[in-house]
């Protein structure tokens, strides 16, 4: 059958990276076409080309028999392409009918003036709600009162109202319960019957097998292939999704007969009030680097925030060097010798109005100050001393210590943050995506620094979404899915395939 949309050889470059490298992708009427790839494989970029948000550098797009070198949001929408993003785009303070007909309100003439035709709007909305099995809700219900699953149905109803031919669903099941997933699948099957083309993005292999007809696999911006779902096993899918060679940026080779020290840090049955972390237990030996792998939203950062006191715990124990800690806020963590290098440097890592000197010295001074870090003298000499020492030790490249940290490169900003914690004398340092947005050269420097820390007896935990990073750096890797640890791997028998499989929640 003729595809509704056919993308050929799509290439998209961003400064320094090729986000999409000659990708072929098509959607036929009456099929569920799965798009599979790791975080950063280029799925979202491809869908943004389809929606007209990005202009491809190469390639053609055939939409309804017409060839384009690029789509605009207008052409894409007129051509019947509708995208339902993971972050739903419904407006909570409007009601269902207004959300569905936003920007296209049905009008009627009353004398010389055009007014909104609410009667038609209500009737059409009612019809659409029945179609998506949401007839229990009135067209005038405020969308803010709906559950996530119901909001998704409203988005689908909106796509139908716009007469969409292709509906792209970006990880629609990530925040749904099993029952809600089944409801969604029922609607998807019904839409497929009606001849719509559905693009389904998901990391959950069991769902892919259940609902998918064809599957296109991407890795690192490249095209792996398009297959019939029935022809592949889930193991095939994982292998093709991650099957790349591990790039040799850094590979830790333990010395022969190397022995780890005692258990220096333990986390027992940690659970968070908001349910993002459930019953997480692990321990860390001296000299060891423990990695945390998993998909975005699996609860890795959330676990670390709870240990660090930045988010409330519901239950669980935290032990450091044989002592049970009660940490209720980051200040207490700092006092106990725990540091956290956060994922977003600019938002949560340093102070834009502070010089390198002050950004480095603040943790040490805060730790030494009394009265919850309020009372104490800011010792100019000590500030200089600690920041100069850190600059030399970890080779922070800056014009001067008086320079604002915000003027440094990402890698050097990260070193300033590292210097802040080392200067304060941490016993346990947690890294969340330590090399995010950092160039390759500085990356390997940072890896070496992290390894040095572990060798010097500091406990090190690394959360990362980059599997090669974890495989090259860590001694042991924990994998999380849906708030729980699903597996531990010793580095000797960890592979990307195993990590990816555990990350989907299929416990090996």
Partner 1 sequence: MKEAQAKKFTFNDYWDRYSTITILVIMIVVFGILRPTSFLTGGNLIKIVEQSSITILLGLGEFFAILLGGIDLSVSSTMALSGALTAKFMAEMGMHPAVAIILGIFVFGALIGAANGVLVTATGLPPFIITLGTQAILRSLVYIITDARAVSGLPATFSKSIGGKLFDVIPVPIVVALITAVVLTFLTTKLQCGRNMYALGGNSQSAWYAGITVKKHTILAFVISGICASLAGMVNIARLAAAEPNAGTGYETYAIEAVIIGGASFFGGIGKIPKVIIGGLIIGVINNGLNMVGVSSYYQQLAMGCLLILAVTLDRFFGASRKN
Contacts to partner 1 by CB under 8 A = 310, 329-331, 333-335, 340, 342, 347-354, 358, 362-363, 365-367, 369, 372-378, 391, 397-400, 402-404, 406-407, 420
Phi, psi of 8 (to 5 degrees): -125, 125
Residue 258 vs 377, nearer CB to partner 1: 377
Q: How far is the CB of 370 from partner 1 (least distance, A)?
A: 9
Contact 81, 164 (CB under 8 A): yes
Q: How far is the CB of 333 from partner 1 (least distance, A)?
A: 7
What is the spatial distance between Cα 72 and Cα 53, in angstroms, rounded to a whole number? 7
Q: How far is the CB of 311 from partner 1 (least distance, A)?
A: 11
**Pick 324 or 403: Cβ nearer partner 1:** 403
DSSP code of 329? S
Complex with partner 1: residue 48 or 358, whichever CB lies closer: 358
Smallest gap from residue 90 Cβ to partner 1 (A): 25
- Which lies closer to partner 1 via its Cβ, residue 258 or residue 375? 375
Minimum CB distance to partner 1, residue 427 (Å): 15
Whole-number minimum distance, CB 393 to partner 1, in Å?
14
Dihedral angle over CA of 182, 186, 191, 194, nearest 10: 160
Q: How far is the CB of 409 from partner 1 (least distance, A)?
A: 14
Cα–Cα distance, 60 to 45 (Å, whole number): 15
Dihedrals φ, ψ of 442, to 5°?
-65, -30
* Assigned token pair, 404: 């604002």
**Nearest CA-CA partner of 241 in 219, 209, 208:** 219
* Nearest of 398, 480, 393 to residue 445 by alpha carbon: 393
User: Among 296, 295, 313, which residue's Cα sits nearest to residue 304?
Assistant: 313
Q: How far is the CB of 419 from partner 1 (least distance, A)?
A: 13
Q: Contact 502/486 with Cβ under 8 angstroms?
A: yes
Give the dihedral of Cα atoms 342, 345, 346, 348; nearest 10 deg.
20
End-to-end CA distance of the chain: 39
Minimal CA–CA distance to 241: which of 230, 252, 251, 233?
233
CA-CA-CA-CA torsion for 85, 197, 51, 230, nearest 10 degrees?
A: 70
- Alpha-carbon distance of 20 to 13, in angstroms, equals 7
CB nearer partner 1, residue 13 or residue 335: 335
Nearer to partner 1, 274 or 490 (CB): 274
Nearer to partner 1, 202 or 342 (CB): 342
Q: What is the DSSP string of 102-144?
A: TT---EEEETTEEEE-HHHHHHHHHHHHHHTT-TTS-TTSBGG
Q: How far apart are CA 211 and CA 207, in angstroms?
A: 6
Nearer to partner 1, 195 or 376 (CB): 376
């Amino acid at each position: 059958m003729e595809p509704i949309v056919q993308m050929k050889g799509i290439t998209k470059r961003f400064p320094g990276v090729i986000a999409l490298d000659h990708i072929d992708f098509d959607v036929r009427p009456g099929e569920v076409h799965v798009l599979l790839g790791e975080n950063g494989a280029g799925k979202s970029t491809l869908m943004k080309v389809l929606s007209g948000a990005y202009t491809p550098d190469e390639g053609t797009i055939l939409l309804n028999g017409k060839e384009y070198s690029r789509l605009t949001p207008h052409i894409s929408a007129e051509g019947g392409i509708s995208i339902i993003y993971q972050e739903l785009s419904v407006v909570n303070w409007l009601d269902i009918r207004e959300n569905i007909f936003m920007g296209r309100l049905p009008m009627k003439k009353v004398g010389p003036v055009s007014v909104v035709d609410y009667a038609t709007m209500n009737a059409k909305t009612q019809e659409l709600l029945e179609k998506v099995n949401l007839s229990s809700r009135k067209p005038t219900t405020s969308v803010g009162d709906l559950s996530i699953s119901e909001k998704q149905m409203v988005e689908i109803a909106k796509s139908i109202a716009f007469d969409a031919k292709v509906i792209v669903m970006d990880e629609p099941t990530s925040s749904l319960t099993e029952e809600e997933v089944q409801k969604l699948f029922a609607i998807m099957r019904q839409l497929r019957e009606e001849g719509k083309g559905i693009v389904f993005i998901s990391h959950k292999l069991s769902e892919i097998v259940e609902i998918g007809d064809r599957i296109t696999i991407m890795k690192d911006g490249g095209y792996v292939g398009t297959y019939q779902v029935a022809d592949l096993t889930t193991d095939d899918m994982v292998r093709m999704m991650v099957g790349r060679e591990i790039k040799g940026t850094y590979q830790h080779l333990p010395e022969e007969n190397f022995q780890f020290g005692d258990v220096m840090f333990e986390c027992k049955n940690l659970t968070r009030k908001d349910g993002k972390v459930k019953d997480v237990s692990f321990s860390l030996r001296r000299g060891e680097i423990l990695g945390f792998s998993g998909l975005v939203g699996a609860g890795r950062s959330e676990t670390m925030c709870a240990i660090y006191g930045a988010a409330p715990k519901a239950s669980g124990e935290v032990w450091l060097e044989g002592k049970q800690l009660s940490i209720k806020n980051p200040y207490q963590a700092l006092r106990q010798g725990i540091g956290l290098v956060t994922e977003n440097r600019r938002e949560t890592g340093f102070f834009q109005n502070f010089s390198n000197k002050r950004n480095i010295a603040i943790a040490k001074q805060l730790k030494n100050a009394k009265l919850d870090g309020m009372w104490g003298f800011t010792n100019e000499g000590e500030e200089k001393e600690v920041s100069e020492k850190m600059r030399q030790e970890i080779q922070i490249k800056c014009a001067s210590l008086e320079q604002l940290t915000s003027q440094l490169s990402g890698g050097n900003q990260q070193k300033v943050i590292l210097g802040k914690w080392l200067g304060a004398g941490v016993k346990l340092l947690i890294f969340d995506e330590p090399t995010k947005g950092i160039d390759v050269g500085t990356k390997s420097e940072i890896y070496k620094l992290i390894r040095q820390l572990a060798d010097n007896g500091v406990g090190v935990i690394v959360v990362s979404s980059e599997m090669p990073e974890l495989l090259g750096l860590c001694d042991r890797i924990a994998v999380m899915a849906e708030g729980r640890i699903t597996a531990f791997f010793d580095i000797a028998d960890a592979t990307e395939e195993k990590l990816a499989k555990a990350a989907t929640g299929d416990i090996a």
